[in-house]
Every structure is written in structure tokens, then in C-alpha cells.
Amino acid sequence: MERNSRIFVAGHRGLVGSAIVRRLVEDGFTDLVLRGRDELDLTDQAAVRAFFDREKIDHVLLAAAKVGGILANDRFGGDFIRDNLLIQTNVIDAAWRAGVRKLLFLGSSCLYPKFAEQPLKEEALLTGPPEPTNKPYAIAKIAGITLCQAYRRQYGFNAICAMPSNLYGPGDHFDPEGSHAIPGMIRRFHDAKMERAPSVTLWGTGTPRREFLYVDDMADACLHLMETYDGEDIINVGPGEDVAIGELARLIRGVVGYEGALTQDLSKPDGHPRKLMDVSRLSATGWRPKVGLEEGLRRTYGWFLENAAPPVPRTAGSEAAE
């Protein structure tokens, strides 16, 4: 991508999209096209086609998606599959029709079959059913990957697909009930610290292992792939190493500076014992993450304190593994 390329970042206000914008600006890209949901409804086919016809986009980074936790997926599965199918189909098709030179589509490690062999290789996709708790989302995103691959084969459209591991960092959601593991723990340890609560409870045994990637590293990987990768095959993006949820909780407790006890509620489920991706395909292109887990946690907590910490502390609760 040239520094004066016209680049559309779809979903620029989200966790990944905002990190991509930060990185593009830092690298000197001068012609970013950004549209909020109130300016461009990506579920509206006519509006999306008109946008691409008008704006003459060179490159697209498709980070827009309807996302949520287990509860949201269970309650609003119809919304998840409908909206994601519409967003990705409209953007990918309109980008091809308008002559976009390259498009990056983002999947997720949660698209892999629940019981696929660890670490998860790219070839494991579609070798078994997805995790039931996020099935509507997973099926929609798998359809997006398939659409990119089919357009490449039929039309020669240069669309590539990346599969991020669990992401965290500035711009995350720190809802104590509905957020993912890292922002949820940060919020609960912070609240416990402010309230001087004697303990914070971790769900389950703390032994499940998960892989986490700092979102600015994800943005770096996205630009790296746009510059170096043109294959049809999906490509995993992650650090290639995981951490036990119990150890993660202790790291976050230290970063937050909470001095109370960490207890466990063994009546709560652990979830899948391990979720780690094989990143050898990405490593072969020369990319490595730059931000280690503890440093990433410190940066994320710093952002939380400046942007998302509540003025009135809430009661500390428990946290489950993603």
C-alpha cells in the first residue's frame, strides 16, 4: 500500500479497527476513509454500493462485525448471523465491483471446531462443528471467508483472510458482566481495589489456557499481511503461546495493584481446557508480536484508568475464561 492509497477501514471505532487506524496514521498514510454507523449502514446493500462507487477506494480492511459474549450470542443469534452476513457480503461484493485492489477480512479463532487438535492449524477449519455458544456468529464469519475465497477463484479478487486469537487493549469493553476475560478481570480487580474488597473470585479451577494478542500487534499484523500476503488460505494471527487463566488473573491483580485475596468458585465451569493457534504460517512471513502479555496488560490498564474507569466503584465479582 502506498502512503497516498485511499484506504477504507470498516469498523474504525471498534477495538481492532481503531488500532488499525492508529497504526495507519503512525505510518504516514494520508487518505483514510472512515464512516461511522450513523454515516454508512453496512447492512444496506444499496448504500454500500453507492459508497464504493463514489469514494474510489484502493484498499479495504474489514474489521466491522456484530460481536458479543455468550449471553448475547444465545439471546440474539438471529441478529448475529443476519447482520454479519449482510455486512461482509455487502462490503466484499461492493469492493470487488468497484475495483478495490486488495481486501483483508478478519475471522476469529472461535470459528475453529470446538474439539479440533491443539494447537489449531488453519486446515482445521470446517473439520467439525463450531462451539455451540457462538454458532450463529461462527457460521456467518465462515461464510465471509468462503466468499473471499470464492471471489478470488472466480473473479481474481485479491481478498485475504486473517484469524486473530483473543484480542485485548485500548478501546476494549470493560463491562464487569459481559466483557471478555482480560477487560472483565481488569474492571473487577480495579473495583475491588477501590472498594477495598477482601477478595475477588475466579470462576472454575483457573487451569484452562488461552492465547491473547495485544490489539496494536494485531493492527501491525494486518498491515504486514496487506504488504506481504496474497494467498487464498486463511492465516492465523497470534503470539503462538498461551497462559493459564489463573496465572492471567494473578498478572492482572499485580498490574492493578489489588492486594486482596484471589479465590476460586469451583462450582462454575472451566470451559474448554485449551485454545491455542499454530502461527507457523504467519511466522514464515517474518512477523512477530512486539508487546508481551504483562506490558500489554499495563498499557490496557493505563488506558482504562484514563478512559473507562467508573467514577463510582461497583462490587467485585467473578470472571470466567473465554
Is residue 37 annotated as involved in ligand binding?
no
Is residue 14 annotated as involved in ligand binding?
yes
The pLDDT, as a whole number, for residue 270 is 77
Supply 50's cell numbers.
453507492
Is residue 109 annotated as involved in ligand binding?
yes
Quick one: 227 exposed, middle or buried, by C-beta within 10 A (0-12, 13-18, 19+)? exposed
pLDDT (tens digit per residue) in 37-50? 999 999 999 999 99
* Residue 137 annotated as catalytic: yes
> Which comes out higher in pLDDT, residue 22 or 1?
22
The pLDDT, as a whole number, for residue 312 is 54
pLDDT (tens digit per residue) in 132-166? 888 999 999 999 999 999 999 999 999 999 999 99
Q: How far apart are CA 160 and CA 105, in angstroms?
A: 6
Vertex 266: Cα angle to 260 and 270 (nearest 5): 105
The pLDDT, as a whole number, for residue 75 is 85
CB 217 within 8 A of CB 162: no
CA Rg, the chain, in Å?
Answer: 20
Among residues 137, 214, 258, 301, the one annotated as catalytic is 137
Is residue 167 annotated as involved in ligand binding?
yes
Is residue 164 annotated as involved in ligand binding?
yes
Is residue 141 annotated as involved in ligand binding?
yes
Residue 197 has pLDDT above 50, yes or no: yes
Q: How many CB atoms neighbour CB 232 within 10 A?
A: 12
pLDDT above 90 covers a percentage of the chain that reads 82
Question: For the residues 196-217, what does the mean pLDDT come to?
Answer: 94
Is residue 187 annotated as involved in ligand binding?
no
pLDDT (tens digit per residue) in 68-114? 776 777 788 999 999 999 999 999 999 999 999 999 999 999 999 98
